[in-house]
Structure 1
Amino acid sequence: MTSFVELYTELDHTTSSDQRRTILEQWSASHITTPTSQPTSSLSELEVDVLCGKNKRRVHRNHLIALARTACGLPDWLFDECLTQTSDVSELVSVLLPDGTDVLPQDLPSILTIVENLAALADEERDAALVRMWRSLHRNDRFVLTRLLSGSRRAVLRRADLFPPSQPEPTATAVEEYPLKAVILYVEVGYTPAESTYTVGLRSGESIVPLTRLSARTLSDSDHVVVNNIVKSSTRERFGPVRSIDATLVVDMVFTGLEPSSRRKSGLKVLGARLCGLSPTSTLHDVATIEELQSMWNDVLSQQRSSDVVPSERTLPEHP
C-alpha cells in the first residue's frame, strides 16, 4: 500500500479500530517503521488531519450534486433515489460514472495541489475540468478527489487509532440509563446516513414538543433505509440540510438525566441521550408525554433521596 488514495479508501470501508490499525501497519510497512512507543504509522500531520476529517470546503456540496446529476446522465428520479440511499456525493460519482484509468498522485500534498488549482478556476472552467477528471479517473481516485473538494468532515480515522490500544480502566459504577419512546420531528441530513442527526419530541396535550437531538450512528443499515424512505415521502419543509417530516417515526432512546431549562420548549435539558433504534410497531400514542417524563424523573430523584443517595438533579417544575 503506497498511495494516499488507497489508504483513504481502505480506511473508509471499515469502522473497526482493530482493522484501522491493521491498515496503518500495512501502510507503515511500505514507508517508515516507527518504534512501538510512537504512533503505529508513518503518517504526516497533514495526512492525519485529512483522515480525521479536518478538511476545508472548496466547492459547495449542492453544486457538486448538480454537476454530478448532469455528468451521470441518469433520469432525475433515478439519480434522486441513488442520492437518497447514500447522501454522499463522493460515493455517488465514484459509483455512477464509468471507471476510468487515470490515477491521482500517490502523495497527499500533490493531490491537494490539484484540488486547490481546480478550485481556483473560474466556475465554468472548473466545472468542465472537474467533469473531465471524473470521467477519466479510477473510481477510488474520483471518490477521494470529490471528498476533498466538498469539504466533507467525515473522519475515516481517529487519533486514538494511531496508538496501540491501552488497557481500559475499570468503571467504578455504571451510569443508569432510562428508556423512553419519542418521535422524530426533524432530520438533519449528513454526508452519509450515519452522520445524520434527528430531533425527537414528546407529546404535550395536542402538540408534539421537541425534546433533544440524537445521532443516527447507532442505527442499523436497514433502519437507515426506513428513515430515508420516510424523509423522501413525508418531508413537509426544508431548511438547508434539515427536513421537517410527519411525526410518524417512533424511536426507542435512553437518557441518564434531566435538568430544567427555560431555553427549551420542553423546559428540559436531556443528559446522556442515545438512540437505540426504530420502534416499528409503536404509534404516536405510545410516545411519552412531557408530563410523564417529568413525573418519572421526579420519582427517580425521590428514590435517590430515600436511599440516601445525593441526587444529581433537582426536582423538575411542572411543564406549563
Structure 2
Amino acid sequence: PKGEWFKWKKQPELIDAVLMYAQRGHGKRSSFYSDYTFGLWEQGRLLPIGKAYFGFTDEELTLLDKWVRTHTNERFGPVRGVEVGLVFEIAFDSAHESSRHKSGVALRFPRIHRIRWDKPASEADQLTTLKARISP
C-alpha cells in the first residue's frame, strides 16, 4: 500500500480497582515496589484481575513505594500483601474471559491511569461491572 497511514487508537476503558499485592520492580526500579496486582469486589471479597507496572511518575512511584512499605500486612517471597485501602484507576484496551484467572477475566494492556487517593476501597468497582464489558 502506498500513501499516508494513520494509526487510530480508541480511548481506553477505565475501571477503579483496589491494590492487593506489590512486588519490587526490575532494573532502575529494583529498590522500589513498582509491580502492582489489583482486584475488584465480588460478594464482599477482592479477586485479582491483573497487574500493572507503569502509568505513574517517578514522584508517584516514591509515594506508592512508601505506602506499600507502611501498609504491608503479609509477605510471601518477594511479594507483599497490603491492607485494603488504595484505589487505582486502571486503563485497559479490552476485557476477555479467561480460565487462567480466579476472576474469570483478563485485561488487555492494563496500566495505571491515576491513583485515587480520594476514593475509599469500598467504592471500587465490582467484578460484574468489568464482566459486562467483555468483548464478544
After TM superposition, the score normalised by the length of structure 2 is 0.84
Assess if the C-alpha contact under 8 Å between 1:187 and 1:197 holds in 2. yes
Partners of 1:247 and 1:273 in 2: CA distance: 20
Counting only pairs closer than 5 Å after superposition, residues 99-114 of structure 1 correspond to structure 2 as none
1:234 lines up with 2:40 in the alignment: no
CA distance in 1, matches of 2:118, 2:94: 27
Query: What is the CA distance between 1:192 and its match in structure 2?
Result: 4.1
What is the rounded CA distance, in whole Å, between the counterparts of 1:263 and 1:272 in structure 2?
Answer: 17
In the TM superposition, residue 277 of structure 1 has moved relative to its aligned partner by 2.1
Q: Which amino acid in the other structure matches residue 34 of structure 2?
A: S
Structure-2 residue corresponding to 1:259 = 96
Displacement of 1:223 after TM fit? 1.8
The one of 36, 48, 59 equivalent to 1:210 is 48
Distance across 2 between alignment mates of 1:247 and 1:198: 13
CA contact (8 A) 2:95 2:107 kept: yes
SS at match of 1:208: strand
The answer to whether the 8 A contact 1:223-1:277 is kept is: no
Task: Give 3-state SS (helix, strand or coil) of 1:225's partner.
Answer: helix
* Residue equivalent to 2:9: 174
- Amino acid aligned to 1:170: F
CA contact (8 A) 1:189 1:243 kept: no
Conserved? CA contact 1:181–1:250, under 8 Å: yes
What corresponds to 1:270 in structure 2?
A: 107
Larger Rg: 1
CA contact (8 A) 1:198 1:214 kept: yes
Greater helix content: 1
1:99-154 Cα deviation digits (max 9, x unpaired): xxxxxxxxxxxxxxxxxxxxxxxxxxxxxxxxxxxxxxxxxxxxxxxxxxxxxxxx
Cα distance in 2 for partners of 1:178, 1:231 equals 26
User: Cα deviations across residues 64-101 of structure 1 (Å, max 9, x unaligned)?
Assistant: xxxxxxxxxxxxxxxxxxxxxxxxxxxxxxxxxxxxxx
Q: C-alpha distance in 2, partners of 1:256/1:242?
A: 27
Rounded to whole Å, the distance in 1 between the matches of 2:46 and 2:35 is 18
**Is 1:225 aligned to 2:65, yes or no?**
no
Counterpart Cα distance in 2 of 1:219 and 1:293: 23
Alignment of 1:280-319 (within 5 A): 280-295=117-132, 297=133, 313-314=135-136
Sequence identity (%): 24
CA distance in 2, matches of 1:208, 1:202: 5
Counting only pairs closer than 5 Å after superposition, residues 1-320 of structure 1 correspond to structure 2 as 170-171=6-7, 173-190=8-25, 191-193=30-32, 196-215=34-53, 217-295=54-132, 297=133, 313-314=135-136
Contact residue 182 and residue 288 of structure 1 kept, 8 A? yes
Q: Report if the CA contact (8 A) 2:72-2:81 is conserved.
A: yes
**TM-score, with normalisation over the residues of structure 1?**
0.38
Q: Which consecutive segments of 4 or more residues in structure 1 shift more than 2 A?
A: none
RMSD between aligned alpha carbons?
1.7
Give 5+ residue unaligned stretches, structure 1: 1-168, 299-312, 315-320
How far apart, CA to CA, are the structure 2 residues paired with 1:218 and 1:204? 26
Relative contact order: is structure 1 or structure 2 higher (C-alpha 8 Å, sep ≥ 6)? 2
Q: Which residue of 2 aligns with 1:27?
A: none
CA-CA distance at 1:262 after TM superposition? 1.7
